[in-house]
Amino acid sequence: MARRISIISLVILVVIQTAMANIPSANEFFKKNINGNLTKITWKHAVNSKPLLIEALASATMMLEADVVLGNLTNSNVTKIPIMAHPPNETSSLSLDEFLTFVLKNRTKGIKLDFKSIEAYTAGLQVLEKHTSNLTVPLWLNADILSGPVNASVNVNTKPVNAKQFLEDAKKTLPQSTLSVGWVTSYKANSTGNYTSAHIDEMLKTLKDSNVTQTVTYPVRAAFAINSIDTLKTLLEKSSNKSATLTIWSAEEDVVDGKKLSKLINEVGSKKVYVDVPEKVWKTLDLSKGGASYASSSIALSIISTLVVIFTTRML
């Protein structure tokens, strides 16, 4: 009887792994467009509503980032489900289920889901499981799982998502997704700070303790990352997964020194750095070692894109 149960369990495991085997990495999925240069991958940030989703699907943008919280759908009695919204918002015109349905039908965009709480993550994984057979595009699971700069544990109301549960549930449910794991940060006008050796040591230990073998990218805030070049290079060097990368991001209100950010990207290398920053920051970059330019990363919508908008609007 015990042997029979073991065989059944093995079969179930094989079925699950087979179903997940079609999730590509961003580098693989967009390889014809980027030729190994990750800075050429373009981003649409905070795709948290139906109008923004329509716009993003019609654009040349490669990766769509969206925030997931538990909340309510507008003009609906449906409550406390995974929706696309950024705290403190708890209502949205777009649910996670709808977001996935339309992005996966499009088949040309990668997905980065930023989970704002462990509760949203747990519920979100259940929604993702429904779409397993259609997951043929890059899928990133993002969360701030540790406290980072500057005095983030004191100054920020948002707490890190439970690291152990986040990592282990991802391994069980979506083992071929990319883990985007970072630090909660606190930023005020012209803040100065950096990622320290303690920050990266804690991250490496956290991943090791959960036996993480998935592809990993570390999201780092540009305003602090530019003061942490050697530390972040050490983070990548010490990562057990040698395909580990950085994802440099910046909020609209952040003040970022373009020369320092260019130096960081050029020193780490375009094969190791994704760049998700606002237009005003992009325009200050000089990626002379093969990185993308802002012009090449901001392709205007074509007539075809306009038709896609009309078609997608009708579908939504």
What would the DSSP string read from start to end of the chain?
A: -HHHHHHHHHHHHHHHHHHHTT---HHHHTHHHHTT-GGG--EE----SHHHHHHHHHSS--EEEEEEEEEEETTSS--SEEEE--TT--EES-BHHHHHHHHHHH-S-EEEEEESSHHHHHHHHHHHHHTGGG--S-EEEEEEEEE-TTTHHHH-SSPPP-HHHHHHHHHHH-TTSEEEEEEE----TT------HHHHHHHHHHHHHTT--S-EEEEEEHHHHTT-HHHHHHHHHH-SSTT-EEEEE--TT----HHHHHHHHHHH-TTSEEEE--HHHHTT---TTTPPPHHHH-PPP-HHHHHHHHHHHHH-
Q: Is CATH 3.20.20.190 the right assignment for the domain spanning 37-183+193-315?
A: yes
Q: What is the mean pLDDT of residues 235-258?
A: 95
Q: What pLDDT, on the 0 to 100 scale, is given for residue 214?
A: 95
Confidence of residue 8 (pLDDT cuts 50, 70, 90): low
Query: What is the C-alpha separation between 200 and 52, in angstroms, rounded?
Result: 35
Q: What pLDDT, on the 0 to 100 scale, is given for residue 289?
A: 64
Q: What proportion of the chain, given as a percentage, has pLDDT over 90?
A: 76
pLDDT tens digit sequence for 48-88: 999 999 999 999 999 999 999 999 999 888 889 999 999 99
> What residue has token string 């093995």?
10
Q: How many CA atoms lie within 13 A of 290 on its CB side?
A: 12
Q: What pLDDT, on the 0 to 100 scale, is given for residue 307?
A: 44
pLDDT at 118 over 70: yes
The domains of the chain are located at: 37-183+193-315
Residue type, 213: T
CA dist list (Å): 118 to 145, 154, 166, 241, 275: 10, 20, 7, 25, 26
The pLDDT mean for the chain works out to 87
Bigger pLDDT: 316 vs 134 = 134
The neighbouring-strand residues paired with 113 are 66, 141
pLDDT at 16 over 70: no
Bigger pLDDT: 297 vs 188 = 188
Confidence of residue 19 (pLDDT cuts 50, 70, 90): very low
pLDDT at 136 over 80: yes
Q: What proportion of the chain, given as a percentage, has pLDDT over 70?
A: 83
> What residue has token string 């580098």?
27
Q: What is the mean pLDDT of residues 107-129?
A: 97
Q: What pLDDT, on the 0 to 100 scale, is given for residue 77?
A: 87
pLDDT at 316 over 90: no
pLDDT tens digit sequence for 263-313: 999 999 999 999 999 999 999 999 876 566 544 444 433 333 444 444 444
Q: What's the pTM value of the predicted model, to 2 decimals?
A: 0.86
Q: What is the mean pLDDT of residues 171-193?
A: 92
Confidence of residue 238 (pLDDT cuts 50, 70, 90): very high
